[in-house]
Copies of this chain bind each other. A is one copy, B any other.
Amino acid sequence: MPSINDFAIKLANVNGTGSASANGLLMQTIFRMGIPVAGKNLFPSNIQGLPTWYEIRVSGAGYGARALDYDLMVAMNAQTYAKDVQEVRSGGYLLYDSTWPLPKELHRDDVKFLGVPLSEMLTKTVPEPRTRILLKNIMYSGSLAALLNLDMEIVEELIRESYGKKQALLDANRQALHQGYEYAKANLECPLPFRCEKMDANRDKILIDGNTATALGAIYAGATVAAWYPITPATSVMDAFKAFADRYRVDPETKKNNYAFLQAEDELAAIGMVIGASWAGARSFTSTAGPGISLMSELIGLAYYAEIPAVIFDIQRTGPSTGMPTRTQQSDIMMCAYASHGDTKHILLFPSNPNECFDFAVKSFDLAEQFQTPVFMLSDLDIGMNDWVVDRLRWDDNYKPNRGKVLTSEELDSIKTYYRYSPEDADHVAARTLPGINEKGTYFTRGSGHNRLGGYTETPSEYQEVMHRLLKKHWSVAKYVPEAVIERKYGATFGIVTVGGCDLACREAIDILDADGIPVNYMRIRGFPFGPEVERFIMDQPFCYVVEQNRDAQLRALLTLETRVPKDKLQSITAYGGYPLSAKSVVEGIHHKRDQKHIATQDLAVMAE
C-alpha cells in the first residue's frame, strides 16, 4: 500500500554547489501542494566544498520534527556516500548519478538504487562546467518530481518566479528539470510507493524561517536602532531587518531612513550601542549567538543594574567556545538567565517556531521597556534558519507599544523633584526620563553603587535597598511573560516539560506514546521568570521529564532553582549533538529512563543521534 504524504527524504550535497536552490524548490512545491512539510538544513561551517545535507519531511498528519529514518536519499556527495547509504531505512531508496557505475561505498542489499545519469545528460547540453554543477540540482529535482509525484506545474511556476526575467537561465533550468523528470518517468519506478498527493492544509500557512520572523517582529515593534556583529546563526536576523527596513522604513519624501543600522566592531560594542540607544529612548536590539553573549556579559550587568532596556536575540548554536557554529543547541539558557558577575537575573522568552519568534520579538521590546531591563529571546539555529510551515503572521492594529514608565516633559514639570529609582510602582519599577527632554528630569546613570534616589552610594543599606527591589521587580515579571502551553491527557502518569524548538518532537513523541497506551501530560515553557502555572503543572505530576537540547540539563537546572518543586520531580532527557530534535530521541529517552531503577541527579541521558 503506498504511503501518501508521509515520508522523509534526505539530500546529500557539497556546499557551495547551488544545492540550496533545489532544496527550496522542493520544499516550496510540496508546500504549495497544500501538504505539511518541514525542511532541516544541516550545513557545515564553511563556504564551499564540505558536506551539506537537507532533509525534507512530508507529513500529512502535520509532524514537523526531524525524521531519523529516510525513505529516500539523494546521494550527490562522494565524500559521504558510505555514511549516507547507512541512513536509508531498510527497504528505502537511494538516488545517485549513474553517469559512473554505482560506487562501491554505496553498497547495501536492502536499499533500492535509482540511477540517473545526471552528469552525462548535462555534459551533452550544458557546455560550462560551473553551470553544469548548478543545474545538476535542478535536474535531480526533476527526477524527484517524477518519483514523488510532485506537481510539475508548481515546480515550473516556482522556476519562473525565480528566473522570470532572465530568459537564458530560465530556459536552462527548465530544460534540466524536464530532462531529469523525463528520464525518471522513462526509466525508474514512478511514482515511488511513498509519494505526495495534493492536500489543502496550507491555506493559512506560510513557509518562513525564525530569523526572518524575528526581524519582522522588530520592525513591527517599532525598533529603530539595530546594532550587531556578524555571527552564524544570528546574521540572517539582521539581513532580514535591513531588507524590511529598506522597504518599510524609508521616508517616501525625503528618502531618509527611519532606522539606524549599525554594524558594530564586535559584540561588546553592539550591546553598548543597544544600551545607549535604549537609554536615549529608542527601541533597540541586537542579535547574536553564544560567543556574543559571553562577550556582552559585562554590559548586560550594567543594563540590569542601571535599569536600561535592551533586547537581545540569542540564536543559539552548539557550544562551548566556537563549537559547531552551524549546529543547533539550547545551551545558553543558564548563561542568559544569570548573565554577568554579581547578582543578576534576566527575563527570557522562548519561542518554539517562527510564528512565536514574531510575537515574542514584539513582546521582548514591551517587557524590556516595561521593566527597564535586558530581555533575551532565546531562539536557536533550528528555529532561526530552517524553513517552517507555520500560521500566517498576523498583526493587530490596535497594538500600542508598552514603553513603560517614561516621564514626559509635562509630567516632569508637574512634579516637585525627580528621582531615578523612586517612587516604585506595584511591579517595583520606577519611572525613567529621557535625555534631551527637560532639565528637571536629568539624572546620572551609573553602574556603580547607587541609592533609591539615583545618587552614588557605598552604604550597605542603601545599596541593598536597590538590589532587593531589583529582585522583586524580577519576580513581578512572572505574570507578564507568555504563559506556558499546557496540554493534559486523561490518565497521564507523568509529564513532559520542554522549551523552544523541542515542541514538535515532544508532541509527536506524546502521540507515539499515547498510541502505545502511555498518556502523557505536556508543558512547554515560554518565559522566565516562570509563571505560577509552571510550578503548578510540575507539582501536579508524579514526575516530569525535562526534554532539552544541551548536555547539562539547563532548563531543569533553572526550574530547580527558580521554582519550589522538589528536585526528584524533574528528570532529564537531553540530546545535544547539534541536530534538530526527533520524536524518536524523545521516545527512546523516555523508555530508557523508565527502565532505570535509580535516577541520579547527575545522570544525564547522553544520546547520539
Chain A residues proximal to chain B, CB less than 8 Å = 44-45, 289-291, 293-295, 297-298, 301-302, 304-306, 318-327, 329, 331-332, 334-335, 338, 340-345, 446-449, 458, 460-461, 463-465, 467-468, 471, 475, 550-552, 554, 557, 560-564, 566-568, 576-579, 600-602, 604, 606, 608-609
Contacts and interface: CB of A to CB of B under 8 A. Distances in A.
Nearest to A604: B471
A608 B461 contact: yes
Contacts of A319: 301, 305, 340-344
Contact of A458 (B44, B447, B608): B44
A134 to B, nearest CB: 24
Nearest to A529: B602
B45 A327 contact: no
Given A318-B449, A331-B342, A458-B45, A601 B564 contact: yes
Interface centre among A320, A338, A551, A604 (most CB of B within 10 A): A320
A530 to B, nearest CB: 11
Contact of A320 (B289, B295, B305, B554): B305
Pairs A-B, 10 closest by C-beta atoms: A319-B342, A460-B577, A290-B341, A321-B447, A320-B342, A461-B608, A294-B298, A294-B297, A343-B551, A301-B320
Contact of A550 (B335, B343, B468): B343
28 contacts: A45-B458, A293-B341, A294-B298, A294-B301, A295-B295, A295-B298, A302-B321, A318-B449, A319-B341, A319-B342, A320-B343, A322-B448, A322-B449, A324-B449, A327-B460, A329-B342, A332-B341, A335-B340, A342-B550, A343-B552, A460-B579, A461-B609, A463-B577, A464-B577, A560-B560, A562-B601, A564-B600, A566-B566
A578 B458 contact: yes
A458 B298 contact: no
A475 B464 CA distance: 36
A106 to B, nearest CB: 20
Contacts of A464: 551, 576-577, 606, 608
Contacts of A326: 458
Contacts of A329: 342
Nearest to A326: B458
A132 to B, nearest CB: 28
A321 B299 CA distance: 7
A344 B332 CA distance: 10
Contacts of A327: 449, 458, 460, 463
Contacts of A460: 327, 577-579, 608-609
Contacts of A550: 342-343
A319 to B, nearest CB: 2
A538 to B, nearest CB: 13
A379 to B, nearest CB: 14
A23 to B, nearest CB: 18
Contacts of A563: 601
Given A320-B344, A467-B576, 12 more contacts: A290-B342, A294-B301, A294-B340, A322-B449, A335-B341, A343-B552, A461-B608, A463-B577, A471-B551, A560-B560, A564-B567, A567-B567
Contacts of A331: 341-343
Contact of A334 (B297, B298, B338, B471): B338
A240 B376 CA distance: 41
A214 to B, nearest CB: 19
A128 to B, nearest CB: 31
A270 B382 CA distance: 35
A446 B325 CA distance: 13
B448 A323 contact: yes
A337 to B, nearest CB: 10
A320 B335 contact: no
Contacts of A463: 318, 324, 327, 577-578
Given A301-B320, A606-B468, A325 B560 contact: no
B45 A448 contact: yes
A602 B340 contact: no
Nearest to A338: B334
Contacts of A342: 290, 318-321, 323, 329, 331-332, 550
A575 to B, nearest CB: 9
Contacts of A321: 298, 301-302, 304-306, 340, 342, 447-448
